[in-house]
């Protein structure tokens, strides 16, 4: 099975722009989660989607949004980019939602640099 794929892998934007990142989960996985990783804050949970519905959301401003499509692919969008949004954005998929026995499979990440 192919792993979790994320596109693009690298991105440079300027302040005020918006960006859309894409994540394709492992075939058959229906839950997709997004995470932000920065040197200062480490890994932080952004949101989780299952069956096209946002099931859980982290403590990020409304500029961060996401969605999931019927084929389980997910996108996240960041509007009005700020310098502090520079980070590695990771997507992870798992077969179901909130299963105690789930393992999350991570994608390679999208490295976003905001200038």
Partner 1 sequence: KNEVEQSPQNLTAQEGEFITINCSYSVGISALHWLQQHPGGGIVSLFMLSSGKKKHGRLIATINIQEKHSSLHITASHPRDSAVYICAVRSGKLIFGQGTELSVKP
User: Quick one: which of 15, 18, 27, 43 contacts partner 1 (CB under 8 A)?
Assistant: 43
Q: Which is nearer to partner 1, 27 or 80 (CB)?
A: 27
- Give the number of residues in contact with partner 1, rule: CB under 8 A: 24
**What minimum distance in Å lies between the beta carbon of 89 and partner 1?**
10
Residues numbered 56-75 forming contacts with partner 1, rule: CB under 8 A: 56, 58
3-state secondary structure of 33: strand
Report how far residue 7's alpha carbon sits from residue 50's, in angstroms, rounded to the nearest whole number: 20
Location of structure tokens 């179901």: 96
The stretch among 12-20, 23-31, 40-48, 66-74 that binds partner 1 (CB under 8 A) is: 40-48
User: Quick one: which of 5, 22, 95, 108 contacts partner 1 (CB under 8 A)?
Assistant: 108
Query: C-alpha distances in angstroms, 60 versus 64, 65, 70, 75, 94?
Result: 7, 9, 25, 16, 22
Q: Which is nearer to partner 1, 6 or 72 (CB)?
A: 6
Strand ranges (DSSP E) for the chain? Answer: 5-7, 10-13, 19-24, 31-38, 42-50, 53-57, 64-68, 74-78, 87-94, 105-106, 110-114
What does the binding site for partner 1 look like in residue numbers (CB under 8 A)? 33, 35, 37, 42-45, 48, 56, 58, 88, 90, 92, 98, 100-106, 108-109, 111
């Amino acid at each position: 099975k192919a792993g979790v794929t994320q596109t693009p892998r690298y991105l440079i934007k300027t302040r005020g722009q918006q960006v859309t990142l894409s994540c394709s989960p492992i075939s058959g996985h229906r839950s997709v989660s997004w995470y932000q990783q920065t040197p200062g804050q480490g890994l932080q949970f952004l949101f989780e989607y299952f069956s096209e519905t946002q099931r859980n959301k982290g403590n990020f401003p409304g500029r961060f949004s996401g969605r999931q499509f019927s084929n389980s692919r997910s996108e996240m969008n960041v509007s009005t980019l700020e310098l502090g949004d520079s980070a590695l954005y990771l997507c992870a998929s798992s077969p179901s939602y909130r299963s105690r026995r789930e393992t999350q499979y991570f994608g390679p990440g999208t490295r976003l640099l905001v200038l």
